[in-house]
Amino acid sequence: MLYEFKLKTEASDQIIDITNSLLQAVQDSGVTNGLATIYCPHTTAAITINENGDYNVRRDLLYALDHFFPDLKEYKHFEGNSKAHLKSSIIGVSETIIIRDGRPLLGTWQSPYFCEFDGPRNRRFYINIA
């Protein structure tokens, strides 16, 4: 089953918790054992899984990606957002999560996140449950 979720990002770089979307999709599907594929159809955004305890983990991730991959004067892409395209390919646009006993098999501290690298924009992502 396929689920589509829309969101509106509010900054150039932002990491948004999408755990509730995942829980909702898994529950609605009725699938007890299977796979959830979270997919981002954008080329300047990404999906990752990381810590949900201290918000500063997300803050530090965004800081680090910007610090280690700054804009380069040698970039030629006419839209000027090659930095965001690079971050997208480095983090990746999909994540696969195992479903067990009707729940996503995330670690205690794990949550899935939508990563905005070129916002603010209207965005969406898909979750396939099978």
Indicate which single residue of 21, 26, 42, 117 sits in contact with its own copies (rule: CB under 8 A): 42
Which runs of E-coded beta strand occur in 18-121? 34-39, 45-51, 94-100, 103-104, 110-116
> Torsion-angle region of residue 90: left (phi > 0), alpha (psi -120 to 50) or beta?
alpha
**Which residue is associated with the tokens 């449950």?**
129
Indicate which single residue of 88, 114, 116, 118 sits in contact with its own copies (rule: CB under 8 A): 88
CB of 10 to its own copies, least distance (A): 20
Rounded to whole angstroms, the Cα distance separating 40 from 105 reads 20
Indicate which single residue of 11, 28, 103, 109 sits in contact with its own copies (rule: CB under 8 A): 109
3-state class (DSSP) for residue 88: helix
Indicate which single residue of 28, 54, 103, 120 sits in contact with its own copies (rule: CB under 8 A): 54
The residue (of 12 and 43) whose beta carbon lies closer to its own copies is 43
| 114 counts as binding its own copies under rule CB under 8 A | no
Q: Are 90 and 69 in contact (CB under 8 A)?
A: yes
Binding residues (CB under 8 A) for its own copies: these are 2, 33-35, 37, 39-43, 48-51, 54, 56-57, 59-61, 63-65, 67-69, 72, 74-79, 82, 85-86, 88-98, 100, 105-110, 126, 128, 130
